[in-house]
Amino acid sequence: MLTSVHNPLVKAIRKLHQAKYRREQAQLLLEGTHGIQEALAVAWPLQTVCYTSAWQHRYPDLAIALASRADQVQLVSPEVLQALATTVHPDGVIAVAAQLGQRTSPAKPSLGLVLAGLQDPGNLGTIIRTAVAAGCDGVWLSQNSVAADHPKVLRASAGQWFRLPLVVATSLEQTISDWSQQGVQLVATDPRAETSYWQVDLTRPTVFLLGNEGAGLAPGYRYQASLPVAIPMQGAVESLNVAIAAALLLYEAKRQRYTLAKS
């Protein structure tokens, strides 16, 4: 059992708390049982797994699976596990996985989501989880958004991070322009818009454009949108959390497409 927080392995894994080292080492830091189960389900390559004896006793079958699927498995003390994790109360297991680069995304999405300048990793993870559930083809991020491989993004996605094309676009403006030329409907939320998102035909190829949590969608992206829509709100509420807005838009598209398929 590994008990020293000064061990070279511990020091190397702790460096992955920082985006700089994750990029340099081409590695991900996975925390928590569910995320690791999802990584196994899609055969994502796991390099090092560390867990406590208490966790091993709770999940003996999973521990056996990890022993055969990961390159290295290490039993650690609770103190070492705490040092490895970014969470206050880790559930007993962390893993280092390989970065596999950007996953293949469709050139012309049927349903896509652009996130420009998003900063909160919890919001991004929640949006990824919703996007998978709604049947989204992919999520495209601007270069100035939160790191797509942030450990909190992976945790908040409840393992769905592994199941969705997640693209950090070199030139998001050019990507959006290409979609426009291909006839993709580009929808951006605007509280001043006269059209509600309920009134728009979302059965055609559509990409939603959402922006920063505080400032909203930057003007450059807003001008590229072919259709501004409002999310109806009452009282003094001026805006919704971006993850809530994304869920409303994606599920309205899903509802319309389901209705069309059943008609």
Domain boundaries, the chain: 8-98, 111-262
CATH domain 8-98 topology: 60s Ribosomal Protein L30; Chain: A; (3.30.1330)
pTM, to two decimals: 0.93
pLDDT in tens, 188-231: 999 889 999 999 999 999 999 999 998 889 999 999 999 999 99
Q: Which two tokens stand for residue 83?
A: 């040092």
Give the H or E element holding residue 262: helix 242-262
CB 220 within 8 A of CB 144: no
Output the pLDDT for position 102: 65
3-state SS assignment for residue 213 = coil
Output the pLDDT for position 235: 83
| Dihedral angle sign, alpha carbons of residues 139, 140, 141, 147 | positive
Output the pLDDT for position 104: 78
Share of the chain above pLDDT 90, in %: 91
Mean pLDDT of the chain: 95
Alpha-carbon distance of 173 to 110, in angstroms, equals 18
Alpha-carbon distance of 137 to 184, in angstroms, equals 13
- Please choose, from the candidates 94, 103, 101, 102, the residue with its C-alpha nearest in 3D space to the C-alpha of residue 46: 94
Output the pLDDT for position 14: 97
pLDDT in tens, 228-259: 999 999 988 888 999 999 999 999 999 999 99
pLDDT tops 90 at residue 263:
no
Output the pLDDT for position 182: 96
pLDDT in tens, 113-157: 999 999 999 999 999 999 999 999 999 999 999 999 999 999 999
The CATH number assigned to the domain with range 111-262 reads 3.40.1280.10
Q: Any idea which residue has 């389901």 for tokens?
A: 258
Output the pLDDT for position 153: 97
Output the pLDDT for position 105: 84
pLDDT tops 80 at residue 103:
no
